Structure 1
């Protein structure tokens, strides 16, 4: 059997339907002399069958090795692109030539030095290729997130609004999912650009559009945590009030961050991450409802710090969708891309 198809070892022809009658008819019609030259159950026939199988395996390996090499190069390209996104590095950093320059010294005593250098040269790490790899990985990570949202028992949301380097208001939303075994996950749900105003109704419309695009089931919603601004906690036109008056939203708890001033102050100080992480855990433990609710907007504040590292003055032309889907998501997500699935779903080829 070759690729789930019955294949003749003598002429390498595939048999459409692997039935005993079809196989016998094919053998008697095309290879009848083998019956007399190699009698059944004889040692001569066993050796002939063994030789034919070896020939078939050798022929398959001729095509298999380049394919495996190409898949390995593509997987390495994905992993390098993932590292660049995780560390908020420019896409052009993938086009490193220094490794090729020092290859002569590093692999001078290696017998397969030429093969190693050739494999490094085949790496697909141009700026556009890195961007495409990051976009594919972010899509794979989103699929894992959607699966967890659909399988969780309940979830809570955390949102906060701030501006990026281009003075565009951005609303970042995090989700905390609680599963049947009482384990929880905190992940970035999305980032929404508020192009015009940042009133409560504007935040509400953008927030609802995000949930509709992601097809999030709101009946699992437990609570929403905000930064406590007037646009979010206003009693009439605030974001929380509009959500509570909307029929699609269930009855949920609403909180506002009680350490928001401390989080803002910590941004201007150095080496405060360890302290804020401890404070963040304490607040969550006090505010937590069966470990399902957010007690602060610290995750959103941390995301804005990553956003400033990602969308800098030198990279201010990055579109909001690429910033969200391709960079911010991979930088903050706890999921690891499924490289095998990514490589299998695309055509692998060496760079020219």
Structure 2
């Protein structure tokens, strides 16, 4: 009967039947949408929740700040979308985003796991990797062992990531560090056979000859024959400390402390600087643990020296005031300021992400040459370029350059130069190999010597390396391609080599690219850690600390949609 009615009212193959069919399909789609639309909206809200939580983690904010973020978003949206026809829908969509403290915590946990899984895949895919280790105590005096990894892939690209941060609850001996790392390596199935080198600071727990972490790694059958290096930046900072000039530093420290230790004195000094229209409004403090501290401290002191003299005179600090008018002491101060400024320039050049060991060695070698140049200029009494503060002080005293006791200062520069030579001897074997890898078609390639050093470093067959070096020197195609590689990017050239033709040279290039030159990334991670686990979040668990730190500094992006699909998508109530 129903079919007969439709046949009569909507005859087959007529426009009337087609229009009716379209109408019925539209109704069905609308009814189905009543069920699917809420699911889509719920998933969108969940994805938004993941994205917002990730932003909070990258900015190292507490989990509870998600609620404040949502409240602020709603307040802003109320004004931003005023007058929009769909304002109600927009406001509802924002309200649906789940940003409670518990939800934000869970989101960060899940995203950290996802990022770690991406890292695991890259570790499995990479050709080789190196590690850097450093240890520091957190807000509640728990020693945290930070480990970064530098992975190199088949195309010679490199990636640096936080591998883990391990809490050391008891002692922090080399044995404790080794046991903690080995437990982690076993649990995560870390492919240690791909490990090329380990870079650490110079602490006895790390580099002790018998029971240090490195010594225990080399004794363990779980580790391959690895290289180990002392952080280049640490060694540079220690080399600079050979210049003590204790009389200068002690007086400067006493003067700064006398001003900054008392609230009244500090306020009066600030007022004095404002009246004098000084460029700065504060003296800096100095601490040995910060690499750039001494240079910045002395530079600020020297810049404010006229104001300091006047303030001490008004404050009746006769002992300090007399010292600040001692011509020899002032020359020593200006010399030390200029020298530490040069050391700071090197330190800044060595810092940064994605700095491989070749770049860092080049910077150190450049500075060694610069020290020789500075010594020659001192001998020639040419102070204008490298010793501007000293030059200005001489002029202000009305002295001639011939009156300067030049040997006194040349000795300090030569001591720094000797200390650099002494401290960087562990790179002596690596440097010729790095030089060759950066310029394989150089005029005077010592083939046998390079092959010997490659064998010593990376345990590759000497004769095979020697044959490949000779073969490459006569390879016209590769020689032409070498000119198109970007300057300073040795990996770009070695990527072009065929593995079946030059397997050992490619392996050498991969290993060299993997080497860490410093523990800079660990130092940066500790700065992030102090913000994340502050005195306001001192009860944070170790798992949450690692999760937040990983999200804050990782270059991986969580798979938001995948995570939302696997989550129970519910809107906020």
- Same fold per TM (> 0.5)? yes
Partner-residue secondary structure (3-state), 2:163: strand
- 2:566 matched residue in structure 1: 345
Report the aligned-residue RMSD: 2.8
Partner-residue secondary structure (3-state), 1:290: helix
TM-superposition CA deviations, 1:316-336 (whole Å, max 9, x none) = 000111101x20110111101
- 1:122 matched residue in structure 2: 96
Is it true that 1:211 corresponds to 2:433 in the alignment? no
Is it true that 1:180 corresponds to 2:154 in the alignment? yes
**Contact 1:311–1:323, Cα closer than 8 Å, also in 2:** yes
Q: Give ranges in structure 2 of 5+ residues lacking alignment.
A: 239-288, 297-340, 362-429, 435-510
- 1:152 matched residue in structure 2: 126
Shift of 1:72: 1.3
Shift of 1:256: 1.4
- 1:265 matched residue in structure 2: 290
TM-superposition CA deviations, 1:105-147 (whole Å, max 9, x none) = 3222211111222222222111111111100110110110001
**Considering only CA atoms, is the larger Rg found in Structure 1 or Structure 2?**
2
- 1:12 matched residue in structure 2: none
- 1:74 matched residue in structure 2: 46
Measured in 1, the distance between the counterparts of 2:182 and 2:214 equals: 12
- 1:196 matched residue in structure 2: 170
Instruction: Say if 1:117 and 1:94 are closer, same or farther in 2 by CA, change over 3 A.
Output: same
Q: How does 1:1-352 map to 2 (within 5 A)?
A: 50-96=22-68, 97-260=71-234, 262=237, 264-266=289-291, 268=293, 278-280=349-351, 281=355, 283=357, 285=359, 286=361, 289-324=511-546, 326-352=547-573
Shift of 1:284: 5.1
Measured in 1, the distance between the counterparts of 2:17 and 2:157 equals: 61
Measured in 2, the distance between the counterparts of 1:69 and 1:350 equals: 8
- 1:25 matched residue in structure 2: none
Alignment coverage as a number of residue pairs: 321
Name which of structure 1's ranges 255-264 and 313-322 shifts more when overlaid on structure 2: 255-264
Measured in 2, the distance between the counterparts of 1:40 and 1:155 equals: 72
Instruction: Say if 1:275 and 1:100 are closer, same or farther in 2 by CA, change over 3 A.
Output: farther
Measured in 1, the distance between the counterparts of 2:84 and 2:347 equals: 49
Measured in 2, the distance between the counterparts of 1:296 and 1:144 equals: 25
- 2:378 matched residue in structure 1: none
Instruction: Say if 1:164 and 1:334 are closer, same or farther in 2 by CA, change over 3 A.
Output: same
Partner-residue secondary structure (3-state), 1:190: strand
**Contact 1:284–1:296, Cα closer than 8 Å, also in 2:** no
Shift of 1:349: 0.5
Relative to its length, the structure with more strand (as a share) is 1
Instruction: Say if 1:71 and 1:174 are closer, same or farther in 2 by CA, change over 3 A.
Output: same
Measured in 1, the distance between the counterparts of 2:358 and 2:538 equals: 34
TM-score normalised to structure 1 length: 0.83
Q: Give ranges in structure 1 of 5+ residues lacking alignment.
A: 1-30
Shift of 1:282: 7.0
Shift of 1:276: 5.1
Name which of structure 1's ranges 133-142 and 99-108 shifts more when overlaid on structure 2: 99-108
Between 1 and 2, higher relative CO (CA 8 Å, sep ≥ 6) is seen in 2
**Contact 1:160–1:226, Cα closer than 8 Å, also in 2:** yes
Shift of 1:195: 0.5
Partner-residue secondary structure (3-state), 2:543: helix
Partner-residue secondary structure (3-state), 2:83: coil
Shift of 1:103: 3.8
- 2:338 matched residue in structure 1: none
TM-superposition CA deviations, 1:169-227 (whole Å, max 9, x none) = 11000011100000010000000111110111100000111111221111111111111
Shift of 1:32: 8.5
Measured in 1, the distance between the counterparts of 2:3 and 2:87 equals: 50
Partner-residue secondary structure (3-state), 2:65: helix
TM-superposition CA deviations, 1:237-295 (whole Å, max 9, x none) = 1111111111111111111112126494237588x999756313375523775311100
Measured in 2, the distance between the counterparts of 1:34 and 1:218 equals: 78
Measured in 2, the distance between the counterparts of 1:133 and 1:127 equals: 10
- 2:416 matched residue in structure 1: none
TM-score normalised to structure 2 length: 0.52
Measured in 2, the distance between the counterparts of 1:275 and 1:133 equals: 42
